[in-house]
Amino acid sequence: MFTEVKNMKVYEQIINQFKDMIAKGLLKKGDKLPSERELVSQLGVSRTGIREALSALQMIGLVESRHGEGNYIKDNLEDSLKDPFLLIFMLNGGKFHEILEFRKGIEIETAALAANKIQDDEIVILKDILHRLDNAECEEVKVKLDKELHYLIAKASKNILIINLLNVNSSLMDIFISEARGKILSKKENRECLLKQHKDIVDAISNHDSFNASKAMRRHLDFIEKYIYNMK
Amino acid sequence: MFTEVKNMKVYEQIINQFKDMIAKGLLKKGDKLPSERELVSQLGVSRTGIREALSALQMIGLVESRHGEGNYIKDNLEDSLKDPFLLIFMLNGGKFHEILEFRKGIEIETAALAANKIQDDEIVILKDILHRLDNAECEEVKVKLDKELHYLIAKASKNILIINLLNVNSSLMDIFISEARGKILSKKENRECLLKQHKDIVDAISNHDSFNASKAMRRHLDFIEKYIYNMK
């Protein structure tokens, strides 16, 4: 399965073998990896090299070590890249408005994709979330449902890059506005505005109307953007 | 600067310290890191732990080891995340059209941002690239200039997330269509279409007309999308 490695840095060689095996479909989500001992003998490298490669793969959220069971390719890769992304964003002196701009770009197009690709069962869930959002009293629940709504729209786009990056982006946002989200939702007049906006988005997506889905999403994100900037 | 670490996995603790130091501005792009020996004594962890952390940081394109000089935080982080991104994309069974969809979402908004934020000197460069693209004969040069044009528009957006992700996305695209780009550009009728599209984009951005910049970018990417799908 794996073959012996030479020359380059050990961890690079191992990562390259992973790449090959993934590309060939030999290594899939949820798969158990050979033990460290087995990897050492299959690849003919040092245990240190193996450990370096494995920790690198853990750090990017690709491999998880289950206590007493060994190492696995993660089943759910939606949250991967969060840490690396955050580090690079900070090192580049990234500003909050860049996160919003980025989100806007992706999410407006995502609404259109979702309108084209959403399945009937997803529409039912989407409408249910909207209904619960309408009736929720507790701020915390509202924040949670709001996130769920946006997440489901991303999922309905069926685009794994978009799902992954909107997730990562959402956790970046949380760092900056963990409280802001609650504040926006807690004011009665905003609550009504936001509910109307969410309803327009859900309606357009449910009607497979990609043009109006994008438009409604843009209106929604413009509103949030303005609100956050005025708050600061 | 660094403090002793306990409990969690060693590499996780070290990464967390990096995060803190970056957040506090104590660690910046281009900075030299303490030697492995110094890190061992400052953090009170094993050399193995340090090596694991460093290789993880190298893998995500954040740290580079310069032969005989030690480890540095990279100066240029624009290409970071390429490898992790690719691995996760492959593991998720990502399809080529997802890359195009993602690019469309970001790049349409990026054109609008660029129109708002572009500086006069950037406009000069942008127009120069367009001019050279018009006069280039060799396919290879055209592909290179085409990429440069899109890259400069991303840079003019001044959004580091967008610059980073369009770079990563462009290298993902290359894997799928290393030849397609050349094929599109080599046909005379396409060449004229594309030149007109690029000209419209550059004109709108240079006039700080964000509405038409987005529109022209959408037209351009729709054209490419259609072409690539028909080619397959």
CATH of the domain at B64: 1.10.10.10
10-residue block means of pLDDT along chain A (232 residues)?
A: 62 81 88 90 84 83 88 85 83 85 92 97 97 88 90 94 87 71 73 92 97 95 84 58
Do B182 and B213 lie in one domain? The reply is yes
B187 domain residue, yes or no? yes
User: Considering the domain boundaries, does residue B1 fall inside one?
Assistant: no
* Residue after which a domain boundary falls, among B25, B56, B73: B73
Q: What is the pLDDT of residue A111?
A: 97
pLDDT of residue A180: 65
Choose from A27, A89, A102 for mutation: most chain B CBs within 10 A.
Answer: A102
Whole-number Å distance between alpha carbons of A29 and A72: 8
B204 has a pLDDT exceeding 90 = yes
Q: Are residues B61 and B114 in the same domain?
A: no
Chain B: residue whose CA lies nearest to A17: B87
Q: How far is CA A157 from CA A116, A160, B124, B218, in A?
A: 8, 8, 38, 18
Q: SS3 helix, strand, coil % of chain B, rounded to 5?
A: 70, 5, 25
Q: Are A99 and B161 a contacting pair, CB within 8 Å?
A: yes
Chain A residue with minimal CA distance to B158? A98
Q: How many helices and strands, by DSSP H and E, does chain A display?
A: 11, 2
Together in a domain, A38 and A146: no
Output the CA torsion A182→A187→A193→A195 (10° steps): 50
The total of structural domains in chain A comes to 2
Give the three-class secondary structure for B4. coil
Q: For residues B9 and A215, which has the higher predicted lDDT (pLDDT)? A: A215
Range of the domain at A63: 10-73
φ, ψ at B198 (rounded to 5°)? -60, -40
Q: Are residues A110 and A27 in the same domain?
A: no
Q: B85: which chain A residues are within 8 Å (Cβ-Cβ)?
A: 81
Query: Which residues of chain A have a CB within 8 Å of the CB of B61?
Result: 88
B74 vs B83, more confident: B74
| Residue B165, H or E segment | helix B160-177
Residues A106 and A195 in one domain: yes
pLDDT band at B189; cut points 50, 70, 90: confident
A129 lies in the same domain as A21: no
**Each residue's pLDDT tens digit, B123-146:** 999 999 999 999 988 888 888 898
- How far is the C-alpha of B30 from the C-alpha of A29, rounded, in Å? 36
Q: What pLDDT sits at residue B140?
A: 83
Q: Tell whether A48 and A116 lie within a shared domain.
A: no
What does the pLDDT average to over B204-212?
97
Domain assignment present for B5: no
Last residue of a domain, which of A52, A73, A94? A73
Out of B9-13, B53-57, B130-134, least confident range: B9-13
**Residue bearing the bigger pLDDT, B86 or B119:** B119
Mutation choice for B interface testing from A59, A98, A100, A218 by most B CBs within 10 A: A59
Work out the average pLDDT over B10-22.
Answer: 81
Residue A68 and residue A91 in one domain: no
Q: Distance between CA atoms of B198 and B131, rounded to whole angstroms?
A: 10
